[in-house]
Chain A
Amino acid sequence: MTIGWYLAVSAIVFSLGAVGVMTRRNPLVVLLCLELMLNGANLALIAFSRMWGNGDGQILAIVVMTVAACEVCIGLGMIVALYRRQLPIDVDELRELQG
């Protein structure tokens, strides 16, 4: 398959992730959709890496995975903290920044 097909898949995955981030209310699912967006970007990076026969894109993809792992760590920590304080697990209700 040509590189364009992979890029099309990556665009679809990225848009689906964006729709999920904008429409879902559960912060857990919002985090999952963020992962989807990062994965779409990763697929594009690796496709471009293959296109030029250059490994830099793969390194960047690995760094993106690292950042995604950090984001999961912090995000899930925040969700657990919300749960402990018995705040609603719902991004619509959490509109105040006040602790």
Chain B
Amino acid sequence: MSPLLFFIAGFGAITGAVGVVVLRDPFYSVLALVFHLISLAVLFLLLRAEFVAAVQVVVYAGAVMVLYVFVVAYVGEESESLGERLRGNGSHPPAVGSGLRRAGAILGGALLVELLIALLGTGLTAIDGYGAGYEPGLGGGPHQFGTPAYIGQLLLTRFLLAFEVASFLLLIAAVGGVVLARRRGGLGEEDERDMLTPLDLLRPLGTGTTAEGVGGVLRPVQGRLEGAPRSRPSLPDAGSRRPR
């Protein structure tokens, strides 16, 4: 049973990987990657890493891939296939680095050969074994290899520092992602900026909120106070700095 499952899952993983590389549409590439990740999770299960397999399916194939799908749907278009690029007769003018690309593929093949030599020709005799013994049976105590309890105990004792550093890294990445993808020029969205609060009528222009300080609110307010005498110099308008 185990060899059969291994061949099915291994074939699925490799097929999915090939699909990611050669498929024309990025959306299909994402779907191929999901297939690849799920096949890989089966391999993880065969290696008795149940918790990692569950994380792989839930976090990777679930959450991260949804993020990809959203960005592909947002950015869209721009599809190209590997074969087209290798021949250099795609929709684009003859590829700048068509030869380079072919060289890249050859380099990848060489890398594969080298890795296989390094991995399979190694002196490690344990590679030909089926792995170290482990405690069979159900229950899932902290001493049973690969269970959530086992991983949790390791993470909170021996690898506590790595755990904390990883969480901090995630926090930094989340902040970085928001900063990178935010809308330039102004704090809020369009409608938020157009909103006129009672406070706007009570106080003079340009003395108000942070949003005004960076140039967000001023324009609609000015538009609304068209008839009023404009004694104050108008601040530089953020509207012109918004993306084209």
Contact = CB atoms under 8 A, between A and B. Distances in A.
Contacts of B180: 74, 77-78, 80-81
Contacts of A3: 126-131
Contact of B151 (A6, A51, A55, A81): A55
A29 B20 contact: yes
Interface centre among A17, A47, A56, A71 (most CB of B within 10 A): A47
A9 B128 CA distance: 15
Contacts of B10: 5, 9
What range describes how many residues of A lie at the interface?
A: 35 or more
B208 to A, nearest CB: 27
Contacts of B154: 55-56, 58-59
Contacts of B145: 53, 55
27 contacts: A1-B6, A3-B131, A4-B119, A9-B10, A12-B17, A12-B112, A15-B109, A15-B111, A19-B21, A19-B109, A22-B105, A28-B75, A32-B68, A43-B13, A44-B119, A50-B49, A52-B126, A58-B49, A59-B155, A63-B166, A68-B60, A71-B173, A74-B180, A76-B71, A80-B75, A80-B180, A89-B78
Interface of B: 2-3, 6, 10, 13-14, 17-18, 20-21, 26, 29-30, 33, 36-37, 40, 43-44, 46-49, 51-52, 55-56, 59-60, 64, 67-68, 71-72, 74-75, 78-80, 82, 85-86, 95-97, 101, 104-105, 107-109, 111-112, 115-116, 119-120, 126-134, 145-146, 150-151, 154-155, 158-159, 162, 166, 169-170, 172-174, 176-181, 183-184, 243-244
